[in-house]
């Protein structure tokens, strides 16, 4: 695949994946601060283990599969499926803190997408997942799944 700087989808993906995107993605640590405070994580190797566990268990087995399914559902405007996937991803958040992390980022992304005049019909949900909204944005900008997954990760 040849990618040029004029590729609109790539530019939007870079925007969506940017550390400066005002959704708080870099303010949340998936519970690592708590684990450090409790003394569960005290060494560099434990930080590496924690990070690897997050990548293998949460990202690879939950977030990315739901991202793929949500992108496919949004491509066909299957609103019922989007709601199901939103419920599924939030049910997979094992703690109140993890769920709050996801929904706070989701609410922030919803505000950003509305400001960009991108259709976000699911903001009426009480809790909206960042994963689902990322999928909606990536689909809107016609970003292929592999690229979206890389940007999400």
Residue-by-residue DSSP string for 50-91? HHHHIIIIIIIIIIHHHHHHHHHHHHTT-HHHHHHHHHHHHH
pTM for the predicted model, two decimal places: 0.78
Residue pair 141/12 in contact (Cβ under 8 Å)? The answer is: yes
Domain-located, residue 17: no
pLDDT tens digits, one per residue of 25-82 = 444 555 677 677 888 888 888 777 776 666 666 777 899 999 999 999 999 999 899 9
For residues 129-138, average pLDDT = 93
Q: Structural domain of residue 97, as residue ranges?
A: 67-153
Domain-located, residue 133: yes
- Total domains, the chain: 1
CB-based contacts of 47, cutoff 8 Å, min separation 6: 32, 41
Domain-located, residue 100: yes
Better-predicted residue by pLDDT, 12 or 128: 128
For residues 18-27, average pLDDT = 55
Of 92, 62, 82, the residue nearest 135 (C-alpha)? 82
Domain-located, residue 29: no
3-state secondary structure of 138: helix
Domain-located, residue 144: yes
> What percent of the chain stands above pLDDT 90?
31
For residues 8-22, average pLDDT = 71
d(CA 9, CA 19): 18
Domain-located, residue 145: yes
Mean pLDDT, rounded, of the chain = 81
Position 84 scores a pLDDT of 95
Domain-located, residue 114: yes
Domain-located, residue 19: no
d(CA 137, CA 119): 9
Better-predicted residue by pLDDT, 110 or 125: 110
Position 72 scores a pLDDT of 98
CA 72, 65, 8, 140 torsion-angle sign? positive
Position 20 scores a pLDDT of 63
Biggest CA-to-CA distance, the chain: 48
């Amino acid at each position: 695949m040849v990618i040029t700087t004029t590729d609109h989808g790539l530019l939007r993906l870079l925007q969506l994946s940017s550390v400066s995107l005002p959704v708080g993605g870099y303010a949340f640590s998936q519970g690592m601060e708590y684990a450090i405070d409790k003394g569960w994580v005290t060494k560099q190797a434990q930080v590496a283990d924690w990070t690897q566990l997050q990548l293998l268990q949460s990202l690879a087995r939950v977030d990315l599969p739901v991202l793929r399914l949500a992108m496919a559902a949004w491509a066909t405007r299957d609103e019922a499926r989007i709601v199901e996937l939103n419920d599924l991803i939030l049910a997979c958040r094992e703690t109140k803190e993890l769920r709050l992390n996801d929904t706070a980022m989701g609410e922030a992304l919803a505000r950003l997408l509305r400001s960009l005049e991108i259709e976000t019909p699911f903001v009426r949900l009480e809790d909206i997942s960042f994963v689902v909204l990322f999928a909606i944005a990536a689909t809107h900008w016609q970003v292929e799944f592999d690229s979206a997954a890389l940007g999400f990760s």
